[in-house]
Amino acid sequence: MSKQIDSDRAAELYSAALRDISANTIGQALRYFHSVPPSALLKDPDKYFDEWFEIVDEARQRAWNIGQAYYRLDTAIWTGTTPDDGTGELLTLKQLWIYFLKRIGTKKFRSSLPNSEISLTDSVWDDYDLDYSRRNAASTYYTRAAYRLKKFEDASRLKEFVDKDDYLKQLDKVMQTVTTDMARESQRLAHNGGRDAVLQGAQNTKAKRVGYLRVPRGLYTCGFCIMLASRGAIYNTKASAGLKGVGREYHAGCDCEVRAIYEGQTLPAVNKQAEDAWKDFTRTKGGGASDFNKWWAEKTNE
């Protein structure tokens, strides 16, 4: 039971830290794109990509570091081992807690487990991949911001007559859409830093697990993610639980994490609630994923 208490608390703290990073990144992105004149972005899209990328990658790297600290702690709780962080330093469980809490900026937590020594296993992480982060961000930015504005401009040029005031008004509307969209995408890219760190640990560790499950963590979760969460720890590979192709399986605004489940560990309450929702749907209505998504949206808006 003590292991369960510590593991659940670590997961809660980890998720709360990533939600804070996500919220801050959304705010920064909104302020940034509100300050950018659309005509300026059209003229020099590369300049504004570089400035925006600094905001996103700083948040992503912080999430990455927190994800590593969380994964090391949770693995230690359940297995008595933890991956080397590259220093080769032997640690106790208390020291892993202190390191994790320092990463998330929290000090208040008392472990229910004894302060045992933790055995080191081989490191499971590569160095932080800045090029990978930049490529993902560039794909998002040039598709959802630069291209969208350029498409509007090109369409306007094809018209025989364009009223300047109307053109500027419509351009501002497009920029409002870009700003909202890029704020949501900024959240996804930043949050994925933590997910990537946990993913690398899950892919490379030798620690034995029962399986994996998808865990919703926010105030609202879409029907598709609830459906995945309802299946519990039936996933026996990282890919089937949503760990393959990092970033693609998490939509903008997604609050889900993929969590390893160890022998003796109980599933989070939110997954049982998701299972109950799916059973309720199949009993009262029935249908596929799209039907459940619609049903869930209607149910949560009641």
Helix (H, G, I), strand (E, B) or coil at 52: helix
- Whole-structure pTM value: 0.86
pLDDT exceeds 50 at position 245: no
Per-residue pLDDT, 247: 36
| 267-301 pLDDT per residue, tens | 888 888 998 999 998 888 888 888 888 898 888 87
Q: What is the pLDDT of residues 27-76, one digit of tens each?
A: 999 999 999 999 999 999 999 999 999 999 999 999 999 999 999 999 99
Q: How confident is the model at residue 246 (pLDDT cuts 50, 70, 90)?
A: very low
Per-residue pLDDT reduced to its tens digit, 208-224: 766 777 888 776 788 88
107 alpha-carbon distance from chain centroid: 24
Q: How does DSSP assign 234-276, residue by residue?
A: GB-STIIIIISSTTTSS-TT---EEEEE-TTPPPPHHHHHHHH
Q: Which residue has the tokens 């209607």?
A: 298
Q: Are 29 and 182 in contact (CB under 8 A)?
A: yes
282 contacts: CB under 8 Å, gap ≥ 6: none
Q: Residue 53: name the closest of 131, 156, 123, 151 by CA.
A: 131
Strands 117-121 and 257-261: unpaired
Distance of alpha carbon 224 from its chain centroid, rounded? 16
H runs (alpha helix) in 144-163: 147-157
Instruction: Find all residues with CB under 8 Å of 25, minimum gap 6, and list them.
Output: 55, 56, 59, 186, 187, 190
Residue 111 has pLDDT above 70, yes or no: yes
Which residues have a Cβ under 8 Å from the Cβ of 85 and sit 6 or more positions away?
A: 68, 72, 123, 125
Closest CA to 112 of 159, 148, 85, 77: 77
CA proximity to 201, closest of 31, 27, 79: 79
Q: How many helices (H) and strands (E) are present in the chain, helices listed first? A: 10, 5
